[in-house]
Structure 1
């Protein structure tokens, strides 16, 4: 225990956080001193706080996200404004906006604007085609066929396939992850990447600096560069007030030669493959794409990469060197989401899936902290006699987040939604599957961070062979889950209900 405390107190996460906090406290002390001695200064700060509140009210975002900021700034004007500037404002630099816009223009040149697959799907299922049209409109990602999709019900299964595909890479490897931690998983991957660099491949790696701040040493990206791996630490966590603490890169992407891609809930750390136990058995999921749809992940990666290393000279050069003939059927559409605009793609894709369900809707998620739109959609689906079932963890990774998750149980159960907890440990997969025809797998949790504040990605599927496997995995997992009942929720102690109610107000900030 002492060793863990010492390790935490000497970690970069703790030291940088303390330095940022000290800077905030110095500013607060300066402001309060001026306000106490100069009335016009105090009035100026109050007026500035009012201006910020007006700005927040007029932002094009969900009102539930605005409310906690308004309360916080009203109660603690100066401190609240400082926090909002650190956590609440999302805006790209003009230079970055220009890069992203130019990249999108280049990406569009690689695809046929006619999108014949969409016309085929529209004849089969107009409602599903409308979902595709939405994703294509807001992300420019095309609907694909000629793609084999493999679903993995555990991190161990996906890691085995990942290692095999990495070893077979011939041209390039792009990897992008939220958490990277030294151990069996990362060391195995790193050995392959170094070997591939020696073979002359273009190997690029991007990790989120906050997601990995407690596991990787400072400037680990420089260390990888020395090995020949091009590396970016996304949104670096520095001891300065200019550091943006939100807008993290929560995506998990591996793309190989533009013809094979992986995504899902699995990061590059041992707990994700149950080589290290943290919260009981770690239940995760992911998919492998082989074929046409994989290239969309090449473009997703290059889009963010360009913000740090500049645009590529020729994006067409990353197209697969040879054609792939898939055995699988169905339609596949990868998509991404960014916190830097008002289009919450991940949430709207989920809403469309929920609203299109007619027979059943099965969901796995580590967190269940959602806005009124998602609550209403789930309740409405249940009232339409759709069999709506959700699996969450029985052993959480964060106490407060789990309490907030539990705070949604009562109203959902009352509407007919069935909720289960995964008793062997931690449920981390992010899957939706409905009516044996539609599914989505990706990195997007059912919480405000994923839906509003993070860079995310996912894959929407229609009629693919793996959909039956996603459903079968859900049904099998129910065998080791405990169903939550309205009676058990009613037994929750009054004090715990009060704590949940208070924190629920600030859920969009957590």
Structure 2
């Protein structure tokens, strides 16, 4: 009866439906419980509330369009990207931003140092949003500094995903709250178990300081991201520090996430003080579009952005991702790219942080190899970088992985950049990582045990609901 309800009443992908039917078939009673917590999805009311809040907050964009500054529009500096930029703008109805200065950060300690340095200089506000914000030694460095800034009168707002922040001790926020700081957990992680929505995470990692400087990428706030641990070794990730108008789009994204997570009387308005309205920095020339997506919207904007970049490539598509669990759309995109003569390389970790998901990653690595894609296994530590490099000019960095969860279930944000120098620098890091990687070969696949292959194929069956 429950399976019939699932098939005929719930609107979802056929692959997802069949995956849940497999769960019911093999573990019927436990499967029912798992479905309640992981399969129900957001209610219509929750979807509406999130969409409505985004619309309200992004109305502030009307106040920052100033033709004399030439910071926001839909026209890229290089006309050859006109169609691509138009497509990206339509995904979230947000503009392309000009005159951004971008610094690439690939080391956890340097990213933390840079972030703390910018927080120290904050004069008006600090808005922070992380999937994982843990109150360990690293987290407390940030909390203690935020407390100092709050005492100085700086507005401090910290939003985190409670389910992703394992090990957080809320009591350690007491001094920050006493100093005037505001702490909130993301809407979907509030009473997640009671409301059967433990499968929906705020996976974004963004910081906005004084409306001028912002951060976006893959690093969270916890010891494992800045230290060499026994479990993971060196943590290899990619983050961006942005000084420019793209900061405004990230700020509006933060405001929407914050406002949908707090009571009415605690909402933040889209004040002009929050947004970037400086004179353009003529020496900064990176064009950036922020693409965001979440389960509240069925468009799957992040996946469409990936698909467009992969199928538009003429020379190369180089990807780094800790999880490789693509759906049929992305798999077809890889086929199209390879059949068009594009150099497609994908780099994945050599170890799991989630064993079952890693088996699915191993399976799909073998699938894309059949299309001619070169797969490399990073041996220099744990690869958590989420990067796509297209040709010589376009690249994307953010929180989204190449997996179904990032396409459909998580709240994600990534930065699409049109800049040859940024593309070249990311390609440099990719080449550097290749020197610490092993290319996956057919012989390696043939040498895998029957038991390992069985686990990989089993994980693949459940990949649509991971």
State if a TM-score over 0.5 links the two structures.
yes
Residue 84 of structure 1 and its aligned partner are, at CA, apart by 2.7
Q: For residues 89 and 240 of structure 1, what CA distance do their matches in structure 2 show?
A: 12
- 1:104 maps onto 2:55 in alignment: yes
Asked if structure 2 preserves the Cα contact closer than 8 Å seen for 1:174 and 1:255, the reply is yes
The match for 1:189 is 142
Supply the RMSD in Å over aligned alpha carbons: 2.5
Instruction: Pick from 242, 257, 260 the counterpart of residue 307 of structure 1.
Output: 260
Identify if the C-alpha distance between structure 1 residues 294 and 461 changes in structure 2 by more than 3 Å, giving closer, same or farther. Answer: same
Residue 171 of structure 1 and its aligned partner are, at CA, apart by 0.7
Unpaired runs of at least 5, structure 2: none
Asked if structure 2 preserves the Cα contact closer than 8 Å seen for 1:390 and 1:420, the reply is yes
Identify if the C-alpha distance between structure 1 residues 77 and 395 changes in structure 2 by more than 3 Å, giving closer, same or farther. Answer: closer
Q: For residues 170 and 274 of structure 2, what CA distance do their matches in structure 1 show?
A: 31
The match for 2:40 is 89
Residue 83 of structure 1 and its aligned partner are, at CA, apart by 3.0
- 1:63 maps onto 2:14 in alignment: yes
Q: For residues 208 and 116 of structure 1, what CA distance do their matches in structure 2 show?
A: 32
For residues 139-190 of structure 1, the C-alpha deviation after alignment (integer angstroms, 9 at most, x for no partner) is 2221100111111122222222111111111110000111122334212211
- 1:467 maps onto 2:405 in alignment: no
Q: For residues 259 and 53 of structure 2, what CA distance do their matches in structure 1 show?
A: 10
The match for 1:363 is 319
Asked if structure 2 preserves the Cα contact closer than 8 Å seen for 1:147 and 1:329, the reply is yes
Residue 383 of structure 1 and its aligned partner are, at CA, apart by 2.5
The match for 2:123 is 170
The match for 1:120 is 75
- 1:134 maps onto 2:90 in alignment: no
Asked if structure 2 preserves the Cα contact closer than 8 Å seen for 1:96 and 1:307, the reply is no
Q: For residues 445 and 508 of structure 1, what CA distance do their matches in structure 2 show?
A: 14
1:296 aligned counterpart, secondary structure: helix
The match for 2:290 is 334
Greater shift, 453-462 or 239-248, is seen at: 239-248
The match for 2:357 is 401
The match for 1:54 is 8
Q: For residues 322 and 46 of structure 2, what CA distance do their matches in structure 1 show?
A: 36
Q: For residues 169 and 20 of structure 2, what CA distance do their matches in structure 1 show?
A: 34
Asked if structure 1 preserves the Cα contact closer than 8 Å seen for 2:102 and 2:240, the reply is yes
The structure with the largest alpha-carbon Rg is 1
Residue 334 of structure 1 and its aligned partner are, at CA, apart by 1.1
- 1:373-384 matches, within 5 Å, as 373-384=329-340
1:110 aligned counterpart, secondary structure: helix
Asked if structure 2 preserves the Cα contact closer than 8 Å seen for 1:291 and 1:326, the reply is no
Residue 314 of structure 1 and its aligned partner are, at CA, apart by 4.4
Asked if structure 2 preserves the Cα contact closer than 8 Å seen for 1:237 and 1:243, the reply is no
- 1:343 maps onto 2:295 in alignment: no
- 1:502 maps onto 2:453 in alignment: no
- 1:260 maps onto 2:216 in alignment: no
Identify if the C-alpha distance between structure 1 residues 266 and 355 changes in structure 2 by more than 3 Å, giving closer, same or farther. Answer: same
Identify if the C-alpha distance between structure 1 residues 223 and 211 changes in structure 2 by more than 3 Å, giving closer, same or farther. Answer: farther
The match for 1:230 is 182
1:255 aligned counterpart, secondary structure: strand
Q: For residues 408 and 270 of structure 2, what CA distance do their matches in structure 1 show?
A: 32
The match for 1:159 is 112
Residue 64 of structure 1 and its aligned partner are, at CA, apart by 2.5
Q: For residues 447 and 250 of structure 2, what CA distance do their matches in structure 1 show?
A: 47
1:466 aligned counterpart, secondary structure: helix
Residue 400 of structure 1 and its aligned partner are, at CA, apart by 1.8
Asked if structure 1 preserves the Cα contact closer than 8 Å seen for 2:319 and 2:345, the reply is yes
The match for 1:147 is 100
Q: For residues 47 and 365 of structure 2, what CA distance do their matches in structure 1 show?
A: 41
1:301 aligned counterpart, secondary structure: helix
The match for 1:25 is none
Compute the TM-score of the two structures, normalised by the length of structure 1: 0.83
For residues 301-357 of structure 1, the C-alpha deviation after alignment (integer angstroms, 9 at most, x for no partner) is 110110122343443231247445252223101121111221111111111111111
Identify if the C-alpha distance between structure 1 residues 226 and 101 changes in structure 2 by more than 3 Å, giving closer, same or farther. Answer: same
Residue 401 of structure 1 and its aligned partner are, at CA, apart by 1.7
Q: For residues 218 and 266 of structure 1, what CA distance do their matches in structure 2 show?
A: 21
Greater shift, 325-334 or 294-303, is seen at: 325-334
Identify if the C-alpha distance between structure 1 residues 239 and 460 changes in structure 2 by more than 3 Å, giving closer, same or farther. Answer: closer
Aligned residues: 458
The match for 2:377 is 421
2:256 aligned counterpart, secondary structure: helix
Q: For residues 423 and 113 of structure 2, what CA distance do their matches in structure 1 show?
A: 21
Asked if structure 1 preserves the Cα contact closer than 8 Å seen for 2:147 and 2:175, the reply is no
Q: For residues 94 and 159 of structure 1, what CA distance do their matches in structure 2 show?
A: 38
Residue 117 of structure 1 and its aligned partner are, at CA, apart by 6.1
> As a proportion of its length, which structure holds more helix?
1
Identify if the C-alpha distance between structure 1 residues 499 and 153 changes in structure 2 by more than 3 Å, giving closer, same or farther. Answer: same
Asked if structure 2 preserves the Cα contact closer than 8 Å seen for 1:154 and 1:273, the reply is yes
- 1:272 maps onto 2:225 in alignment: yes
Greater shift, 314-323 or 330-339, is seen at: 314-323
Compute the TM-score of the two structures, normalised by the length of structure 2: 0.91
Residue 290 of structure 1 and its aligned partner are, at CA, apart by 0.3
Identify if the C-alpha distance between structure 1 residues 120 and 96 changes in structure 2 by more than 3 Å, giving closer, same or farther. Answer: closer
Residue 199 of structure 1 and its aligned partner are, at CA, apart by 1.0
